[in-house]
Chain A
Amino acid sequence: MTMHIRRKKLFINYIALFLILVIVCPLLAGCGASSEEVSYSLPEEQKLVVYTSHKQEIYEPIIKEFQERTGIWVEVISGGTKEMLDRIAQEADFPACDIMFGGGVDSLCSYTDYFAPYSSDVQEKLDPTYRDASDRYTVFSNLPIVFIYNKKLVFSAGKPRTWQELLTSTWKDKISFADPSRSGSAYTALCTLITARADALSQAETLELFASNLRSAGCASSSSQVLEDVIAGTRLIGITTEDAALKRIHKGADIGIIYPTDGTSVIPDGTAIIKNAPHAENARLFLEFTVSEDAQKLLREKCYRRPVRLDLEEDDAITELTYDLSWSATEQASILGTFEKALGKEGN
């Protein structure tokens, strides 16, 4: 019995020792470390998260300037239009992103559920052609679909001037056209072609004729491949967006741009504030900045893009062809299906 008690006492002593050590040790360790940690926290109201499908040469100057003018820290996550929009749809319950910067309005219009309506302060100064009815996105830059031709190989007088000409056998196997199932701009071009020929030909006939001109050579893998094809002379003409062509011309490529005289579509890309955005106020500031005079001017002068601001729009040779975005969205599967079938008809 006494032994037991003594053992217990001993045990209590050990526990006491242990406790003392436990208390003393951190104190000692604390003496070793000087506690002058600088915290670099960033208030939430100074943050903005941007998802963008623009190329870096577009978003980088805009975002850099936005940061420097406002002091707001911007986190940029870039990727393909569809990738970014799907990500926004996935995160709809807990949005990680504040604003979607980029993406053709034809793509944006099928995701309007995830966007918050916002009407820009300068809305009346913006090109109203593709304005969303409830302002769930705001246009950013106009991207006309144009033809390009290799100046060395195509005699200026003989270059195609209309969509109609592209369907003739003259250009059989000489056109570079990106796969419309992969490239948004190629699908826009396909829709433009159908619209341009709508009074003469049915949708299926247009697609069949166009496919027959591409059939044996096939489609280019991407829109940048179209430029490479034409610059290298592998193909004589190509269909692409104006800014891509201008950029290469500026860099010295010997290619020419043709604005189809029977009209071409000018589908703008846009900017959309995400519904329940964590930094909605900053998102609005950013959106205003994208349509500001400086930014729009920069677009024209440095990015080879057409501003959407009416006060900056230049009067030029473009005959604008408009089509219904909802039509192109709903018909996408059937148009692509018909086109693919037509392409594969005689094998390649």
Chain B
Amino acid sequence: MEPFNPSIFIGRFHPLIVHLPIGFLTLSFLLLLIKTIKKHEYKSLALAIRLSVLLAAISGLVAAIVGYMLSSEGGYQADSLDWHQWMAYAIVATSFILWALLKFYHFFSDQGALWFHSFVMLLLVATGHLGGNLTHGSEYLIEYAPDGVKKLFSTAAARIEIPQNPDSIVIYEHIIQPILKNKCYSCHNAEKKKGNLDLTSLEGALPGEGSNSIINPGNAFQSSLFKRVTLNPDNSKFMPPNGLPLSYGEIELLKWWIEQGASFDQTMADAETNAYLGAKLLKEFEIDISPKEYYELVQIAPLAPEDFEAMSKLGIRARPLSIDVNFLDVSINSSGITSGQVEAILKYSDHITWLDLSNKKITDEHLQDIAKLSNLTKLNISNNPITDEGAGHLRGLKHLKVLNMHSTGVGDDVILFLSEMASLNTCILWNTKVTREERNTTEDKTAIEWIL
């Protein structure tokens, strides 16, 4: 429970009272406008205009006093508050002057009064807008505006696009900050520092040690940022006090970030994740942290249309893997490989990552050339007259993940060097001379799936 504080108690009526002078001034301005346009018909309005201005001046004075009381509560951005305050005083003062002119200065023309009043109205709009920003935050008004309007007026950055690659995802910027932005920034920003806390510049004021710090890196339960959002919702210190609380997933991610050391530049690739977090990130942020394939991580320049045409003429079917992945998926149309095709394959060796040469009369000599395709990740050389010796050439393929050698002449000797290929994941050796026993002896040592 907060103790009784008459100043703040009365001060909080400011947003209520402040609409009185706004109403009176708008009324007098409209009446004055009508009177100026239709001089003869609405002569009698003069008295009403004067009264309305006087009421505006008096109620404005009350609103200003109450507003001053509210400002003693603190937590507002000093700069904006200053402007709001002084402009409000100016409105009160000019309202009194306008009233006095209307009452005592009989030579004051309608046009002159209108100009004067217009100036007061401008002041009113500016002051009111500042006041709105102080109460609701500067993004409140355009939060639901069409995108174009938002871009035009928004001071904050547009919606953050989360990059696809885990090493480009900065955990704070892309995950944690958007949570704070959604749930905390409206009160804890540079303009309206509720509880003297500005979360928008968390990086600058990097929190200290001890159980009272906002963030205690590595220890979520000693960080008040985490404690306050996980209190019993009935507790007056529970945050956020209004609106939707943080979701379970958001709390988990906040905790994970703090326990990881609350770093502001750590990327997803550097962080320790687990399957549970992976699922959460996928569901709530559509961030896929599952491991990427080699060809998705490495960039290569696209080939020109002429290159594809040249290959096509030689009976080579080559396609880029996708719009963004320029590596090629290559197979050949003829029933046996030709020397021209071998040449072309070697010419584009850097680009080829999937190669299907199943049943194309591939021999051990060909494999010597194929071994030069250093970016190969999938190789299918099944149904070909190849032996252990030829297969041995492939040991240098650092990125090879799937090797299909079913129905070939290879035997147990290949198991030994294949087991040492770091990136090899699946090896298909069905219908070869490889025996189950040999495979079994190495099975425990490698993560390779042997298909016999």
Q: Do A and B bind each other?
A: no
List residues of chain B with CB under 8 Å of any chain A CB: none
